[in-house]
A and B are shown apart, each in its own frame.
Chain A
């Protein structure tokens, strides 16, 4: 028996134990990073499908041409796999250098020291073309941990073909209220003889629904300190409105909503022509119109009074891992993707309408069809102040909200009880993460 492989394996086992147990958060040095000219390889990771992979690979090639000493290795995964892999590699101190971030997870990573302070790399990574609203969406306690790639705003998508078919007027979205929305939806259901439904669901299946509902009542889901500040009555009000849509037949039933949720927006009731209106981010119009094969139009959200309830929601961010050995090069790559017209020409709006104003201006003349509609829509919206980023501990808000919404809509619990329980559970998760 040869002891050496045995010993190596044993050392490995001990190492695995001790590393997990003693791993210290990788603090990065305070000095500003500098670009060198030695050959450097960085890893960049993102979630997304085939189209995104192809475009990003093209951008990487253009970047490597401009910076011949830097090699970028791209890695892409599906949404769920992405977060599992990112958490695992970060836990093992082996995180990729450049990471695509989401609003849900930004604070969870930043608060735990996993992200690099981009302010240190100001000289390499410019943020001058982003307005303050957009920059704020990537800040935690005043530190810029991430830069938004694209932004979207909430909207109502309508299938105008179905409106025409059943002789229903597309409502005037400058003035409409939630009652108008319910009435229009019911009219569609009735006039189609139940063949289709007016609304592709009731609110409460995405965090955006709650944020919007809270803001139009002058509240916020989270306060500045990252605690839940939403009142249970307000949330219960949203669910009661949803129950109204369901009981009048204005909306597809609860089980269809559940099916749509797992099917995704491009395979749900709206995309398959079984419902005529749906709440969505304006940037989703391209994908949905493609899937629906019908004429789709963007309407403003219904309003309560004059409140500026709508808000910019970053579709995703770029960030640098605090474990990166090459923060300068990582920042340079992000700078290229966000600020270089060459990159914009390749990426266009695949990751959302650019949050960088100069890039949006650069692209504007080339936009057509639904991309143009989405960009025009965004210009027409006057959003309110940016909502507070989902706090550390709140990364599970979406499934949690969906669970309570389902319980309400399946009538297993009352809106009031569910609102109290939801807020308590969410606040509990946030407290536990502190």
Chain B
């Protein structure tokens, strides 16, 4: 079981004389790097601008689109951190709670449903599948009022429940569809083999399919993390007590249309709130490398 890392080229036998190959590679690699670096710089420029702006005084932020920074000012960070009744970490912890619940819920409930859609035959399967897709086609703005009534009847308003429980009920159909596509990419012979060994669906799911769909699970986890971390609307509606606010709610509250917006603090806290997301992605993307490529295909 070796990880399929970058260093191992997929084609083992050399079809060309080694000398030519070496020359071609010597030219190709730096070229590729230059192009990628250029691409990366363009992509990153706005992000860098945001970081630089977080170190500028408010009166300078909107006067320059450049990256020159004469006197870095770290007050924006300390001010932004303490701008509300709770330190900014409080809102990040709230976000972390919501995000963790949402990830667990999506991983569990969506993979279960996806297995049924991808591997089992049942009555009216295509109809259910269509219904599932339709549920993500209606904009939130017309759903929110009846949904609010429902959750307030259940006593869930101003708790994290409206943000977490639905994930355990696989309401994020996006991920079901994603996982269905991945499971269908796993050769059937693998679960046939397990079935011949006498395994039931539960065992096939947990012991055969789940380990094989790690990339899909990692994708789901990463996306759930980022979307929930950035999601604004449902959190705005359901979290009413400021002590329950999450990162995006706190960030939005900085921006007041009527009085002075402390943009330095907005950028500083935006950068701060980006750090965990970036770290999670860095960690999570390693799991994208695993999967059938290493465990299957024997």
Contacts and interface: CB of A to CB of B under 8 A. Distances in A.
B153 A12 contact: yes
Contact of A73 (B63, B241, B255): B241
B62 A78 contact: no
Contact of A75 (B62, B152, B240): B240
A264 interface: yes
A91 interface: yes
Contacts of B35: none
Interface residues of A, number: 52
B256 A78 contact: yes
A205 B75 CA distance: 35
Given A20-B146, A88-B144, A92-B149, A79 B83 contact: no
B254 A50 contact: yes
A125 B149 CA distance: 32
A88 B157 contact: no
Nearest to B239: A75
A81 interface: yes
The secondary structure that dominates the A interface is helix
Interface string B228-256: 00001100110011100000010011111
A287 B260 contact: yes
A168 interface: no
A79 B153 CA distance: 27
B160 interface: no
A17 interface: yes
A266 B157 CA distance: 35
B242 A272 contact: no
B146 A17 contact: yes
A74 to B, nearest CB: 7
A85 interface: yes
B260 A75 contact: no
A266 B145 contact: no
B259 interface: yes
Given A12-B153, A51-B259, A53-B85, A291 B58 contact: yes
A49 B255 contact: yes
Contact of A291 (B59, B149, B150, B157): B59
Contacts of A171: none
A49 B262 CA distance: 9
Given A47-B256, A48-B256, A75 B157 contact: no
A194 to B, nearest CB: 17
B152 A92 contact: yes
B261 interface: yes
A96 B157 CA distance: 13
A77 B246 CA distance: 12
Contact of A77 (B83, B236, B263): B236
B252 A78 contact: yes
Nearest to A292: B59
Contacts of A272: 62-63
A429 interface: no
B281 interface: no
Given A85-B236, A88-B237, A267-B263, A49 B144 contact: no
21 contacts: A12-B153, A16-B153, A19-B153, A57-B85, A75-B241, A76-B253, A79-B257, A84-B144, A85-B236, A85-B237, A88-B144, A88-B145, A89-B240, A92-B148, A264-B255, A266-B58, A266-B261, A267-B261, A273-B63, A284-B259, A291-B260
Given A49-B255, A291-B58, 4 more contacts: A51-B259, A84-B236, A85-B236, A88-B148
A-B residue pairs, 9 tightest by C-beta: A49-B256, A16-B150, A287-B260, A50-B83, A293-B59, A16-B149, A78-B252, A92-B148, A92-B149
Interface of B: 58-59, 61-63, 83-85, 144-150, 152-154, 157, 232-233, 236-237, 240-242, 249, 252-263, 265
